Amino acid sequence: MHSRTSVSVAVGTALLAAAIVPAAVLPALAVPLLPSSADRPAARQGAAGPPPGERAIGPGGSTQEGTVSAAALLARTGACDQISKGHYRAREEAPADIAVCDANGAVFFKADMDIDCDGQITERCNLDTDPYFQNSTAYTESDGRTLNAETLPYIVVPMPSEIWNYRASGIRGGSVAAVIHANKVVYAVVGDTGPPGIIGEASYAAARALGIQADPFGGGVPSGVTYIVFKNAKVSPLEDPGAAARLGDRLARKFVAEN
């Protein structure tokens, strides 16, 4: 969890770790909590992606394309049957205008993407690259280690509140999500939770796989990201992106057929 999620760590939150197509026991914090996301730069307007005509490549060299297109998924998210009792903000200073919508087999929301670079210390995720870095995540790998945001695509969901309780929708740590941006689809898992009033965040690996600028300090995009989180389906072990991709693709086909 980066700065936007820091307030939820001690509460015992839940996250969404991700697994890209083709592809828990909270440890004590060793890094002090840092300022809120309101002090961070706003997400960049642009997105750094692969050259035109070239598919995005994620961790392990796997491509991000499955059997269900971004267009097919987005076509099923045009209308919103609002399940949240109110709206979320993209960041502290933004208006509350993001609803969580219900659907057959999933919930979805359309938001920005902030970058979560917490968990294991890596070349790209550490205190030098991210002044808001924390060495913990709400969920952990099967061996008890925190998640690796640099290599594991995951998303962050808001911790339960009067607005929405993700658990009531059949979502847990390790639940699978389809994350869509700029005609790309990446399958991720729920790996972390954030403040109860803010939504729209994913790991360094998820952003990179989507062609989004993954710099933990100032990266991300301010809008245009759709998150489809599937109900009552999770990956074990949580840190297996290939398993998340396979299950996610299967659930995406069902989502398209039933909505």
pLDDT by residue for the chain (259 residues), tens only, comes to 554 444 333 333 333 344 444 433 333 333 333 333 334 444 433 333 333 333 333 333 343 558 999 999 999 999 999 999 999 999 999 999 999 999 999 999 999 999 999 999 999 999 999 998 999 999 999 999 999 999 999 999 999 999 999 999 999 999 999 999 999 999 999 999 989 999 999 999 999 999 999 999 889 999 999 999 999 999 999 999 999 999 999 999 999 999 9
| Count of alpha carbons within 13 angstroms of residue 73, beta-carbon side | 35
pLDDT at 109: 99
Nearest one of 226, 232, 227, 225 to 247, comparing CA atoms: 232
What pLDDT is attached to residue 66? 81
Predicted local confidence at residue 64, as pLDDT = 54
The whole-number pLDDT of residue 197 equals: 96
pLDDT of residue 35: 38
Residue 216 and residue 214: Cα distance in Å, rounded?
Answer: 6
pTM of the model: 0.78
Amino acid at 189: V
What's the confidence (pLDDT) of residue 126?
94
pLDDT of residue 52: 34
Q: What is the CA radius of gyration of the chain?
A: 16
Cα separation of 206 and 150, whole Å? 9
Token code pair at residue 45? 């307007």
Counting DSSP H helices and E strands in the chain, the numbers are: 3, 11
CB neighbour burial string for 197-227, b if at least 16 within 10 angstroms, e if fewer: ebbbbbbbbbbbbbbbbbbbeebbbbeebbb
Can you tell me which residue has the tokens 């740590």? 173
CB-based contact 18:202 (threshold 8 Å)? yes
Rounded to whole angstroms, how far apart are CA atoms 160 and 123?
32
Q: How many CB atoms lie within 10 A of CB 96?
A: 14
Total Cβ atoms within 10 A of residue 123: 8
With H, G, I as helix, E, B as strand and everything else as coil, classify residue 168: helix
